[in-house]
DNA sequence: TGTCCACGTCT
DNA sequence: AAGACGTGGAC
């Protein structure tokens, strides 16, 4: 190694960061007590796209339902998705479940410790693999999540979009150069905490930052500009489109749901049936329902987390005539497992309840033009 | 109320 | 490589 080391530009970075962390960092996160590999893994995957405050209640419920990797592996995917509903990016839950089965079947239920082994599991990339290795096994592995990218990009005024190949390579080098060979778990948490609580995207609290005097972005008055945003290419080639979700209730007020296909948006989740805009009347006619004549349609605060009905598939011919994009279904009586055909809303020996198409929920979709 | 866009992994 | 995935923070 010749000349100045990158990490020497901010003398004693790790020790100063850890000193800040000991006083101001987050030490009461649920996955820190106890800090097992399983809990760290689930938390890291939940945190991949979601903020701490949102994750905590989901994490607690998930741990109650699946206390260890074996119970997760033994569960049905549907039960896992149920605990994930509302968190978004549902491929994370499918990957989590698949990885649990790999750990059960190929590793005897024990977590691999090598970052390369972790990164080979579904849903675990380089950053999450190193985060688990550091947090769970105290390995001096560098992480580079969004928080760390922001801290390093500002500290060294790194130009370029952080996800661009060249910029990412530069940031990885910085991340590795700063990672100490001691207190790896604490250091990993510390640099994420710095980014999450002080070095925020908007209005960073530089006055409280131990590295304000070292920060190039700060010195140049460019904290609002760095890190650079994604290049805006081709935006004008996209437009917004509305799709329509049908809210259908039977005579007892129950909502009809459909299971979405296993991949794609909201994959594997129960959802309202979807129709092309304006297809409400046609769908209702095909389903033998009564359309409520006048708007306003009823809004849904959250369409996918609070329904407890299940449904069964109906023939593709009916889907088509009803103008439904995804498989429609019949109402399942949860306790007895008896289902109604949505087309007729009747079952043998029981009078048919009246069903009404009550509302239309419009969602935004960006599509290629 | 609406619009923009972050975040890590997969494809 | 560059876009999909989805929710929610920021404005």
Give me the mean pLDDT over the A119-134 stretch: 93
Under the banding of pLDDT at 50, 70 and 90, the label for residue A239 is very low
Structure tokens at A39: 């809990």
Please state whether A145 falls in left (phi above 0), alpha (psi between -120 and 50) or beta: beta
Task: Provide the pLDDT for residue A108.
Answer: 95
Residue holding tokens 């990158």?
A6
Q: CA-CA distance, A65 to A83, in Å (whole number)?
A: 8
CATH topology for A3-219 is Endonuclease III; domain 1 (1.10.340)
The candidate with the shortest Cα–Cα distance to A35, out of A144, A148, A138, is A138
Q: Does at least one atom of strand C sit less than 7 Å from the CB of A84?
A: no
Half-sphere exposure of A207 (CA within 13 A, CB side): 1
Residue with the larger pLDDT of the pair A209 and A240: A209
Q: CA-CA distance, A346 to A318, in Å (whole number)?
A: 16
A362 is catalytic: no
Closest nucleotide over all strands to A366 (CA to C1'): C4
% pLDDT > 70, chain A = 63
DSSP letter string over A87-125? S--THHHHHHHHHHHHHHHHSTT----SHHHHHTSTT--
- Chain A 299-358 residues in 7 Å CB range of strand B: none
Contacts of A78 (CB under 8 A, 6+ apart): A268
* Angle CA A203–A206–A211, to nearest 5: 140
Give me the mean pLDDT over the A98-123 stretch: 94
Superfamily holding A239-368: Nucleoside Triphosphate Pyrophosphohydrolase (3.90.79.10)
Task: Provide the pLDDT for residue A86.
Answer: 78
Q: Is the pLDDT of residue A299 over 60?
A: no
Is residue A111 within 8 A of residue A41, CB to CB? The reply is: yes
Under the banding of pLDDT at 50, 70 and 90, the label for residue A139 is very high
Look up residue A255 and give its DSSP letter: B
Residue holding tokens 């000991």?
A22
Query: What does pLDDT average to over chain A?
Result: 76
Residue with the larger pLDDT of the pair A263 and A312: A263
- Nucleic acid strand B: bases within 7 A of protein CB: 3, 5-10
Q: CA-CA distance, A47 to A54, in Å (whole number)?
A: 9
Q: Does at least one atom of strand B sit less than 7 Å from the CB of A263?
A: no
Q: How far is CA A327 from the centre of its chain?
A: 25
Task: Catalogue the E-assigned strands of chain A.
Answer: 238-249, 258-259, 270-271, 274-275, 290-291, 310-313, 329-333, 338-339, 356-368
- Host H or E run for residue A333: strand A329-333
Residue with the larger pLDDT of the pair A245 and A193: A193
Residue with the larger pLDDT of the pair A141 and A266: A141
Q: Does at least one atom of strand B sit less than 7 Å from the CB of A147?
A: yes
pTM for the full predicted model: 0.80
Q: CA-CA distance, A222 to A206, in Å (whole number)?
A: 12
% pLDDT > 90, chain A = 45
Closest nucleotide over all strands to A127 (CA to C1'): B8
Under the banding of pLDDT at 50, 70 and 90, the label for residue A253 is low
Under the banding of pLDDT at 50, 70 and 90, the label for residue A329 is very low
Of A4, A23, A44, A281, the catalytic one is A44
Q: Is the pLDDT of residue A344 over 60?
A: no
Dihedral sign for Cα atoms in the order A301, A87, A90, A363: positive
- Host H or E run for residue A248: strand A238-249
Q: Does at least one atom of strand B sit less than 7 Å from the CB of A188?
A: no
**Å between CA of A198 and C1' of C9:** 16
Q: Does at least one atom of strand C sit less than 7 Å from the CB of A361?
A: no
Most confident range (mean pLDDT) of A2-11, A97-106, A258-267, A308-317 is A97-106
Give me the mean pLDDT over the A57-73 stretch: 94
Q: Does at least one atom of strand C sit less than 7 Å from the CB of A252?
A: no
Largest CA distance in chain A: 87
Q: Does at least one atom of strand B sit less than 7 Å from the CB of A122?
A: yes
Closest nucleotide over all strands to A86 (CA to C1'): C7
**Å between CA of A182 and C1' of B10:** 33
Q: CA-CA distance, A50 to A307, in Å (whole number)?
A: 23
Structure tokens at A79: 């039960």
Is residue A213 within 8 A of residue A332, CB to CB? The reply is: no
End-to-end Cα spacing for chain A: 52
Structure tokens at A295: 């708007």
Under the banding of pLDDT at 50, 70 and 90, the label for residue A336 is very low
Give me the mean pLDDT over the A260-288 stretch: 70
For chain A, domain boundaries? 3-219, 239-368
**Å between CA of A201 and C1' of C10:** 10
Task: Provide the pLDDT for residue A217.
Answer: 92
Task: Provide the pLDDT for residue A54.
Answer: 85
Q: Is the pLDDT of residue A351 over 50?
A: no
Is the N-terminal amide bond of A296 cis, ω within 30° of 0? Answer: yes
Residue with the larger pLDDT of the pair A244 and A78: A78
Residue whose Cα is closest to the C1' of B8 = A48
Q: Is the pLDDT of residue A345 over 50?
A: no
From A82-91, A192-201, A244-253, the region with the lowest mean pLDDT: A244-253
Closest nucleotide over all strands to A54 (CA to C1'): C8
Residue with the larger pLDDT of the pair A240 and A77: A77
Q: CA-CA distance, A50 to A352, in Å (whole number)?
A: 44
The candidate with the shortest Cα–Cα distance to A342, out of A321, A298, A304, A311, is A311
Q: Does at least one atom of strand B sit less than 7 Å from the CB of A127?
A: yes
Under the banding of pLDDT at 50, 70 and 90, the label for residue A308 is very low
**Å between CA of A238 and C1' of B5:** 15
């Amino acid at each position: 190694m010749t000349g100045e080391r990158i990490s020497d530009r901010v003398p004693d970075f790790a020790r100063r960061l850890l000193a800040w962390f000991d006083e101001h960092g987050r030490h009461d996160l649920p996955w820190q007590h106890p800090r097992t590999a399983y809990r760290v893994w689930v938390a890291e995957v939940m945190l991949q796209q979601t903020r701490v405050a949102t994750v905590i209640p989901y994490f607690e419920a998930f741990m109650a339902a699946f206390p260890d990797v074996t119970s997760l592996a033994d569960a049905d995917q549907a039960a896992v998705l149920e605990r994930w509903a509302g968190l978004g990016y549902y491929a994370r839950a499918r990957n989590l479940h698949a990885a649990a089965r790999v750990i059960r079947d190929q590793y005897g239920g024990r977590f691999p410790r090598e970052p390369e082994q972790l990164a080979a599991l579904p849903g675990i990339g380089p950053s999450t693999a190193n985060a688990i290795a550091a947090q769970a096994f105290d390995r001096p592995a560098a992480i580079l999540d969004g928080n760390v990218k922001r801290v390093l990009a500002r500290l060294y005024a790194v130009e370029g979009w952080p996800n661009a190949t060249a910029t990412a390579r530069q940031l990885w080098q910085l991340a590795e150069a700063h990672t100490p060979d001691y207190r790896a778990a604490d250091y990993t948490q510390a640099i994420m905490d710095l980014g999450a609580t002080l070095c925020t995207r908007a209005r960073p609290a530089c006055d409280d930052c131990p590295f304000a005097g070292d920060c190039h972005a700060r010195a140049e008055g460019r904290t609002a500009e760095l890190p650079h945003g994604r290049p805006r290419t081709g935006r004008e080639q996209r437009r917004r489109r509305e799709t329509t979700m049908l809210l259908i209730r039977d005579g007892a007020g129950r909502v009809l749901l459909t299971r979405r296909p296993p991949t794609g948006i909201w994959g594997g989740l129960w959802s309202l049936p979807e129709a092309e805009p304006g297809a409400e009347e046609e769908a209702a006619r095909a389903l033998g329902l009564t359309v409520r004549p006048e708007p306003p349609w009823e809004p849904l605060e959250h369409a996918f987390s609070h329904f407890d009905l299940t449904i069964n598939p109906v023939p593709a011919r009916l889907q088509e005539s009803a103008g439904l994009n995804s498989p429609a279904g019949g109402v399942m009586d949860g306790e007895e497992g008896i289902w109604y055909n949505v087309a007729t809303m009747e079952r043998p020996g029981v009078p048919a309840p009246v069903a009404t198409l009550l509302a239309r929920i419009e969602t935004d979709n960006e599509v290629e033009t």
